[in-house]
């Protein structure tokens, strides 16, 4: 399962902030006693970055085909499975539709799309990371997933140490299905937990109790056959800091290799917002209160021996490498297949609509063109550099200037403000985000992108 809060493995279709008319003062933080709560009034976007012009229809198909045959080196491979047994209250995954009984035909259709890709691309690879995301791919028959993974293997060579991830819901990871997933070749399991608190879980529509989820997760970890990572969300209805603190403790006790902590996004007009307004669930934690949870995770996980790999991701063992998400955030080459899948080639993003039935019908007609593509932004290389660096809570200003040539003065006002507001420290031309800066990291990243785009006139 994907938390579908942030970041989505299928990020190509996600909107980036509109930077056509940026307000430079929006990017200045408020200076006050509690930057975790008060530095900004909002998060400007879910994914920092900038997209170029969008093409659809025939133009999209032609642009995509041209990129498929462009020369390429290492890449990622993403396969999307829009299959969920129910709908979680917090999910903002537009167009998700449970697709009962369609699993086998869907996997055959995906395998045929991958065979089509193999014929259409020039020599490519190796693939450094393969990601089966969704949706809930773990709900499908391991034999069907194995067929799709075999198709990926025959499309591109996989690196010997290729990270091969299967996303899923914890109740799907039974001893029998685990056997099938491991035999298929998955070496990393990304499991959506969100909280171990039974009341919080039930409020969000989760199947297992907190204790059952922890026990199942411990069983998966105890096999010691693959990296196991989970998602936790903070800010859920009824999830007090004490509940979240317990979530972190239980997670650490299960023996997992890594975890993501994502903030809750309440989508306007979404089911969670309606349920809270109607009093069906307690009010979610507002943005001004979420920073406290972020800092709690930073402190508790550090104490437990987890190290930070990105603004939201922590690893405890050397088995966990977290290759896919940073790869996609940098918009590096990623072939993609399946309904709702998004990929990148030569900076171009491609996206398919997420309805699995239409996808299967189109595959039967041999139609695999994306529904739309976006061209790279004019300053794509510098944006990828900024997003990649700042996702790790840092920005090497010296390298930024020497590689891409922006005037250091362009960022001076911002950086001075962020240091004063307690969001960043700068030493020897290296910006390092504080814990509060990391919580507001997407704003800082978007601000640097917007400011340099405005300074360059792009």
The residue ranges that bind ligand SF4 (CB under 6 A) are: 1-4, 84, 87-88, 91, 93, 96, 134-136, 169, 192
Dihedral pair phi/psi, residue 337, rounded to 5°? -145, 150
Beta carbon nearer to ligand SF4, 167 or 333:
167
Beta carbon nearer to ligand SF4, 60 or 84:
84
Question: In the complex, what is the shortest distance from the CB of residue 2 to ligand SF4, in angstroms, rounded to a whole number?
Answer: 5
Are the CB atoms for 78 and 328 separated by under 8 Å? yes
Question: In the complex, what is the shortest distance from the CB of residue 355 to ligand SF4, in angstroms, rounded to a whole number?
Answer: 14
Distances (CA, A) of 410 to 19, 406, 414: 16, 7, 8
Beta carbon nearer to ligand SF4, 1 or 390:
1
Secondary element (H or E) of residue 44: none
Question: In the complex, what is the shortest distance from the CB of residue 5 to ligand SF4, in angstroms, rounded to a whole number?
Answer: 8
Beta carbon nearer to ligand SF4, 192 or 393:
192
Question: In the complex, what is the shortest distance from the CB of residue 340 to ligand SF4, in angstroms, rounded to a whole number?
Answer: 10
Residue 116: both structure tokens together: 């089509």
> Which strands sit side by side in the sheet containing 430-433, from one edge to the other?
394-396, 430-433, 424-427
Are the CB atoms for 221 and 256 separated by under 8 Å? yes
Beta carbon nearer to ligand SF4, 276 or 454:
276
Task: Classify the phi-psi angles of 180: left when phi > 0, otherwise alpha if psi is within -120 to 50, otherwise beta.
Answer: alpha
Beta carbon nearer to ligand SF4, 138 or 446:
138
Distances (CA, A) of 180 to 32, 371, 445: 54, 33, 41
Length in residues, the chain = 458
Beta carbon nearer to ligand SF4, 93 or 106:
93
Distances (CA, A) of 219 to 3, 174, 213, 225: 22, 9, 10, 11
Radius of gyration of the chain (CA): 21
For the chain, count helices (H), then strands (E): 17, 16
75-81/313-315 β-pairing: unpaired
Beta carbon nearer to ligand SF4, 192 or 342:
192
Question: In the complex, what is the shortest distance from the CB of residue 216 to ligand SF4, in angstroms, rounded to a whole number?
Answer: 15
Question: In the complex, what is the shortest distance from the CB of residue 86 to ligand SF4, in angstroms, rounded to a whole number?
Answer: 7
Nearest to 356 by CA among 135, 138, 58: 135
308 burial type by CB count under 10 A (0-12 exposed, 13-18 middle, 19+ buried): middle
Question: In the complex, what is the shortest distance from the CB of residue 22 to ligand SF4, in angstroms, rounded to a whole number?
Answer: 32
Nearest to 112 by CA among 414, 362, 345: 362
Question: In the complex, what is the shortest distance from the CB of residue 11 to ligand SF4, in angstroms, rounded to a whole number?
Answer: 14
Question: In the complex, what is the shortest distance from the CB of residue 88 to ligand SF4, in angstroms, rounded to a whole number?
Answer: 3
Q: What's the rounded Cα separation, in Å, for the pair 238 and 279?
A: 12
Question: In the complex, what is the shortest distance from the CB of residue 204 to ligand SF4, in angstroms, rounded to a whole number?
Answer: 8
DSSP class of residue 272 equals H
For CA atoms 250, 252, 257, 262, the dihedral sign is positive
Are the CB atoms for 110 and 56 separated by under 8 Å? no
Dihedral pair phi/psi, residue 451, rounded to 5°? -65, -45
Question: In the complex, what is the shortest distance from the CB of residue 195 to ligand SF4, in angstroms, rounded to a whole number?
Answer: 13
Beta carbon nearer to ligand SF4, 79 or 91:
91
Beta carbon nearer to ligand SF4, 128 or 171:
171
Beta carbon nearer to ligand SF4, 2 or 443:
2
Cα of 222 vs its chain's centroid, Å: 26
Q: What's the rounded Cα separation, in Å, for the pair 374 and 351?
A: 9
Q: Which residues contact 371 (CB under 8 A, 6 or more apart)?
A: 56, 60, 351, 352, 353
Beta carbon nearer to ligand SF4, 267 or 404:
267
Question: In the complex, what is the shortest distance from the CB of residue 297 to ligand SF4, in angstroms, rounded to a whole number?
Answer: 20
């Amino acid at each position: 399962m994907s938390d579908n809060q942030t970041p989505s493995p299928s990020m190509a279709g996600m909107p980036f902030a509109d930077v056509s008319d940026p307000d430079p003062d929006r990017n200045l933080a408020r200076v006050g006693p509690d930057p975790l709560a008060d530095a900004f009034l909002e998060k400007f976007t879910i994914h920092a970055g900038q997209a170029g012009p969008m093409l659809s229809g025939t133009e999209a198909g032609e642009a995509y085909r041209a990129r498929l045959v462009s020369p390429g080196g290492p890449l990622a491979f993403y396969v999307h499975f829009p299959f969920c047994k129910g709908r979680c209250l917090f999910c903002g995954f537009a167009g998700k539709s449970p697709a009962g009984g369609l699993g086998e035909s869907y996997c055959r259709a995906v395998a045929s799309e991958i065979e089509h890709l193999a014929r259409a691309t020039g020599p490519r690879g190796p693939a450094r990371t393969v990601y089966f995301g969704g949706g809930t791919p773990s709900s499908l028959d391991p034999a069907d997933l194995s067929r799709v993974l075999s198709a990926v293997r025959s499309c591109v060579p996989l690196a010997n140490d290729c990270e091969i991830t299967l996303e899923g819901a914890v109740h799907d990871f039974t001893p029998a299905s685990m056997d099938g997933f491991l035999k298929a070749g998955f070496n990393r399991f990304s499991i959506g937990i969100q909280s171990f608190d039974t009341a919080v879980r039930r409020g969000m529509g989760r199947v297992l109790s907190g204790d059952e989820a922890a026990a199942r997760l411990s069983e998966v970890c105890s096999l010691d056959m693959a990296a196991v990572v989970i998602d936790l969300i903070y800010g859920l209805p009824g999830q007090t800091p004490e509940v979240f603190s317990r979530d972190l403790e239980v997670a650490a006790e299960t023996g997992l290799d890594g975890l993501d902590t994502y903030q809750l996004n309440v989508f306007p007009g979404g089911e969670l917002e309606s349920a809270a307004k109607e009093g069906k669930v307690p009010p979610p934690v507002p943005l001004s209160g979420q920073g406290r949870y972020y800092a709690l995770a930073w402190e508790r996980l550090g104490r437990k021996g987890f190290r930070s790999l990105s603004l939201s991701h922590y690893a405890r063992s050397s088995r966990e490498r977290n290759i896919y998400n940073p790869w996609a955030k940098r918009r590096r080459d990623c072939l993609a297949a399946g309904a709702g899948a998004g990929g990148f080639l030569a900076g171009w993003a491609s996206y398919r609509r997420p309805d699995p039935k239409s996808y299967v019908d189109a595959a039967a007609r041999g139609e695999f063109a994306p529904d739309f593509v976006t061209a790279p932004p004019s300053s794509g290389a510098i944006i990828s550099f900024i997003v990649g660096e700042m996702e790790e809570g840092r920005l090497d200003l010296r390298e930024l200037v020497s590689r891409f040539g922006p005037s250091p003065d362009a960022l001076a006002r911002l950086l001075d403000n962020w240091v004063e507001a307690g969001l960043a420290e700068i030493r020897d031309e290296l910006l390092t985000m504080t814990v509060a800066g990391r919580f507001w990291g997407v704003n800082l990243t978007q601000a640097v992108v917007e400011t340099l785009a405005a300074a360059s006139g792009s």
